[in-house]
């Protein structure tokens, strides 16, 4: 194989021996995976080769080394944005086939209202009817691709939405294959691991709990500071397919990276004062319907959507460092910490500050860089 980060001469022909090895059940080293996915992202692989590559990995089971190599290939080709040191991303992998309302997008508005800088990475609909980018456009929020504009939004307004198609042009070569396959592959994992603003604090929702530890391991190797990899279990629905976010439908599994240490724990909605609710309570629709639901939420609407957003926003606060640092990753201390975060998040919906974030983005005016009152409340000052 060629050195990592380069595309072999001959393009797709270099994938043939790789595909033969994968068909035999072999695994790729990190640098081999990086080169193979580099071929794909340079447009030098055929549709059949791309499908064979990702499906062979899925059937056998993708490895941490293969995932890290693919992430490095994608990061090397993305259009980057100058970020801010303490920015956070909240992003799900998709692929959970539940078609829920846009939870992480709503969480982004709540975090920004609390003074947490958010470089929100999102995509158009793949496994649902309305992805983050679709819903934002329906809300009237412009999606920029100019790095200078996005840098200004992050620095002056404290929030920027990074639409994946605008920052990962190399992925266009795989897009038709992904659509035709119609099932989750390693590509679902790559986007959340390749934030264009280079954030080092991330809350990532996963379609499958078994990916939590590998994702945290890859991000740790790539320099992440704080990560929560979360997966919600659909206990009420009895579905084997969980959600790529914290849920009210059952307990949620979390693998967290903080201060170089990895913690594993479970979040139970009942211990947060939340009744269990079926996933159907937050089923979404098209972009217009999801946008209407999100704006209603920001205007104070109650129900399962609000409670789900508060739960996820509270967890994201811990990742951002604005909440209490995780010291006891289980039991009452954990749930007390999350209840406190939910109360802070709820105030942004009740006092209109989260809605103000949306309105200022629509109007193109500046959002205060920090909400001193909110920050003071979070730190108990």
Q: Known binder of ligand: residue 122?
A: yes
Q: Known binder of ligand: residue 13?
A: no
Which helix (H) or strand (E) segment holds residue 263: the answer is: strand 261-267
**Cβ atoms of residues 118 and 112 within 8 Å:** yes
Q: Known binder of ligand: residue 191?
A: no
Q: Known binder of ligand: residue 43?
A: no
Long-range contacts of the stretch 332-341 (C-beta < 8 A, 24+):
332/271, 334/265, 334/267, 335/267, 335/268, 335/271, 335/272, 338/267, 338/272, 338/311, 338/314, 339/272, 339/273, 339/314, 340/314, 341/313, 341/314, 341/315, 341/317
Q: Known binder of ligand: residue 152?
A: no
Alpha-carbon gap, residue 376 to 345, rounded angstroms: 14
N residues, the chain: 381
DSSP code for 297: H
Q: Known binder of ligand: residue 38?
A: no
Q: Known binder of ligand: residue 245?
A: yes
Alpha-carbon gap, residue 251 to 266, rounded angstroms: 6
Q: Known binder of ligand: residue 100?
A: yes
Contacts of 134 (CB under 8 A, 6+ apart): 124, 125, 287, 290
Q: Known binder of ligand: residue 87?
A: no
Q: Known binder of ligand: residue 244?
A: yes
Q: Known binder of ligand: residue 102?
A: yes
Q: Known binder of ligand: residue 198?
A: no
Alpha-carbon gap, residue 11 to 1, rounded angstroms: 12
Burial of 2 (0-12, 13-18, 19+ CB in 10 A): middle
| Strands of the 252-258 sheet, one edge to the other | 89-92, 201-205, 226-232, 252-258, 261-267
Alpha-carbon gap, residue 263 to 348, rounded angstroms: 29
Distance separating the N- and C-terminal Cα atoms of the chain: 57
Alpha-carbon gap, residue 341 to 200, rounded angstroms: 21
Alpha-carbon gap, residue 259 to 264, rounded angstroms: 14
Q: Known binder of ligand: residue 324?
A: no
Burial of 193 (0-12, 13-18, 19+ CB in 10 A): buried
Q: Known binder of ligand: residue 279?
A: no
Q: Known binder of ligand: residue 127?
A: yes
Q: Known binder of ligand: residue 120?
A: yes
Q: Known binder of ligand: residue 320?
A: no
Q: Known binder of ligand: residue 328?
A: no
Q: Known binder of ligand: residue 128?
A: yes
Annotated binding site for 5-phospho-alpha-D-ribose 1-diphosphate: 92, 95-96, 100, 102-105, 120-128, 132
Annotated binding site: 92, 95-96, 100, 102-105, 120-128, 132, 178, 244-245
Annotated binding site for Mg(2+): 104, 244-245
Annotated binding site for anthranilate: 92, 123, 178
């Amino acid at each position: 194989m060629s050195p990592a980060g380069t595309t072999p001469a001959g393009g797709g022909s270099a994938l043939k021996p790789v595909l033969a090895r994968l068909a035999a059940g072999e695994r790729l080293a990190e640098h081999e995976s990086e080169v193979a996915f580099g071929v794909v992202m340079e447009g030098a692989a055929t549709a059949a080769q791309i499908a064979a590559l990702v499906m062979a990995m899925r059937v056998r089971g993708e490895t941490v080394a293969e995932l890290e190599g693919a992430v490095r290939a994608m990061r090397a080709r993305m259009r980057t944005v100058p970020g801010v040191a303490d920015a956070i991303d909240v992003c799900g992998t998709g692929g959970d086939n539940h078609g829920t309302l846009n939870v992480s997008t709503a969480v982004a508005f709540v975090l920004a209202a609390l003074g947490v800088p958010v470089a929100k990475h999102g995509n158009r609909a793949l496994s649902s009817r309305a992805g983050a980018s679709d819903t934002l456009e329906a809300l009237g929020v412009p999606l920029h691709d100019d790095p200078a504009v996005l840098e200004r939004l992050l620095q002056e307004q404290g929030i920027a939405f990074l639409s994946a198609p605008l920052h990962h042009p190399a992925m266009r070569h795989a897009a038709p294959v992904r659509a035709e396959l119609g099932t989750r592959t390693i590509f679902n994992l790559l986007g959340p691991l390749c934030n264009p603003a280079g954030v080092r604090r991330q809350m990532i929702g996963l379609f499958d709990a078994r990916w939590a530890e590998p994702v945290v391991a890859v991000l740790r190797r790539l320099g992440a500071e704080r990560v929560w990899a979360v997966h919600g279990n659909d206990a009420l629905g009895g579905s084997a397919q969980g959600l790529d976010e914290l849920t009210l439908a059952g307990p949620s599994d979390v693998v967290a990276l903080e201060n170089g240490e990895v913690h594993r724990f479970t979040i139970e909605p009942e211990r947060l004062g939340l009744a269990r609710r079926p996933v159907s309570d937050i089923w979404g629709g098209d972009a217009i319907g999801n946008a209407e639901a999100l704006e209603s939420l920001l205007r104070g609407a109650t129900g399962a959507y609000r409670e789900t957003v508060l739960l996820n926003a509270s967890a994201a606060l811990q990742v951002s460092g604005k909440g209490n640092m995780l010291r006891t990753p289980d039991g009452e201390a954990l749930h007390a910490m999350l209840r406190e975060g939910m109360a802070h998040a709820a105030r942004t919906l009740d006092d209109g500050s989260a809605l103000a974030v949306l309105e200022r983005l629509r109007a193109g005016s500046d959002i205060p860089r920090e909400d001193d009152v909110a920050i003071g409340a979070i730190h108990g000052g």
